[in-house]
A and B are shown apart, each in its own frame.
Chain A
Amino acid sequence: MEERRFHLGRYKMQLGLVTIFCLVMLFFILTSPTVFLRPTIYLAYLTTIPFVGIMALGLTFVLASGEIDMSFPSVMAFAGFVCAVAIEGTGSVTVGILAGLASGALIGCLNGLIIRKIGVPSIVVTLGMNFLIRGAVNLLSQGLGKSLTFLQNTLWRTVLVGKLAGKFPAHAIWFVALTVLFWFILYRHRFGNHVLFAGDNEDAARMMGVNVDRVKIMIFTLMGLMAAFAGIIDSFRLLKWWPTMGEGYMLTTMASVFVGGTSMFGGEATIFGTFVGAFLIGSLEAGIVAAGLSGFWTQFIYGLLILIAVTVHTVLRKGKVA
Chain B
Amino acid sequence: MALVEMKNIHKYFGRVVALRGVDFTVGENEVVGLIGDNGAGKSTLIKILSGVFPPSKGEIVIKGQKVDLRRYSVREAHRMGIETVFQEQALGLKQAIWRNLFLGREPVDRLGFLKLDTAWTETYRMMREMLGFRGGGVSPDAPVRTLSGGERQGVAIGRAMYFNADLVILDEPTRALSVQEVRKVLNFILKLKESGKSCVYISHTIANVYSVSDRFVILDRGQVVGEYLQDEISEQELNETLVKLHEPRVGRGEEPPLELN
Contacts and interface: CB of A to CB of B under 8 A. Distances in A.
Contacts, number: 94
B141 A209 contact: no
Contacts of A205: 92, 103-104
Interface residues of A, number: 27
Interface string B87-100: 01111111100010
Contacts of B88: 203-204, 207
Interface residues of B, number: 37
Interface in A177-215: 184, 188-191, 193, 196-197, 200-201, 203-210
B50 A207 contact: yes
Interface in A15-46: none
Contacts of A196: 92, 94-95, 99
Contact of A204 (B92, B113, B116, B139): B92
Interface stretch (A2-10, A219-227, A251-259, A280-288): A2-10
Contacts of B141: 3, 6-7
A1 interface: yes
A208 B103 CA distance: 6
A267 interface: yes
A98 B138 CA distance: 49
A268 interface: yes
Interface string B203-231: 00000000000000000000000000000
A165 interface: no
A190 B145 contact: no
B27 interface: no
Interface in B81-138: 84, 86, 88-95, 99, 103-106, 108, 111-114, 116, 137-138
B143 interface: yes
B74 A201 contact: no
A5 to B, nearest CB: 8
Contact of A2 (B51, B94, B139): B139
A304 interface: no
A6 B95 contact: no
B153 to A, nearest CB: 14
Nearest to B77: A209
B114 A190 contact: yes
Interface of B: 47, 50-52, 73-75, 78, 84, 86, 88-95, 99, 103-106, 108, 111-114, 116, 137-139, 141-143, 145-146
8 contacts: A2-B138, A189-B111, A190-B113, A193-B99, A200-B93, A204-B103, A267-B94, A321-B146
